[in-house]
Amino acid sequence: MAFPTVRQRRLRNNQAIRNLVKENHVNVHDLIYPIFVTEGEAIKNEIPSMPGVFHFSLDQLETEIKEITELGLQSIILFGVPNKKDDVGTQAYDDQGIAQKATRLVKQINPNLLVMADTCLCQYTDHGHCGIVKKSDNGKEAVIENDSSLALLVKTAISQAKAGADVIAPSNMMDGFVTAIRSGLDESGFEHIPIMSYAVKYSSAFYGPFRDAAHSSPQFGDRKTYQMDPANAREGIREAECDVIEGADILMVKPGMAYMDIIHTLKQNFDLPIAAYNVSAEYSMIKAAAEKGWIDEKAVAMELLVGFKRAGADMIITYFAKDAAKWLRADSV
Question: Which parts of this chain interact with ligand PBG (CB under 6 A)?
Answer: 118, 120, 122, 130, 171, 207, 210-211, 216, 279-280
In angstroms, give the least distance from the CB of 96 to ligand PBG: 21
Least spacing, CB of residue 196 vs ligand PBG, in Å = 12
CB of 157 within 8 A of CB of 151?
A: no
Contact between residue 281 and residue 207 where contact means Cβ atoms under 8 Å apart: yes
Q: How far is the CB of 161 from ligand PBG (least distance, A)?
A: 18
Provide the 10 A C-beta neighbour count for residue 225: 14
> Would you say 122 is a known binding-site residue?
yes
Q: How far is the CB of 130 from ligand PBG (least distance, A)?
A: 5
120 is in an annotated binding site: yes
Query: Active-site residue among 85, 101, 155, 254?
Result: 254
**Any catalytic annotation for residue 254?**
yes
What whole-number distance in Å separates Cα of residue 183 and Cα of residue 181?
Answer: 6
CA-to-CA distance for 121 and 3, rounded, in angstroms? 64
Buried/exposed code over 59-95 (b: 16+ C-beta within 10 A; e: otherwise): ebbeebbeebeebebbbbbbbbbbeebeebbbbbbbe
Q: Please, which residues bridge with residue 115 across strands?
A: 76
Candidates 101, 201, 267, 309; catalytic one: 201
Closer to ligand PBG by CB, 109 or 142: give it. 142
Q: Is 319 annotated as a binding residue?
A: yes
Determine whether the annotation assigns residue 284 to a binding site: no
Half-sphere exposure of 169 (CA within 13 A, CB side): 28
Residues catalogued as catalytic: 201, 254
* Annotated binding-site positions for 5-aminolevulinate: 211, 223, 280, 319
* Annotated binding-site positions: 120, 122, 130, 211, 223, 239, 280, 319
* Annotated binding-site positions for Mg(2+): 239
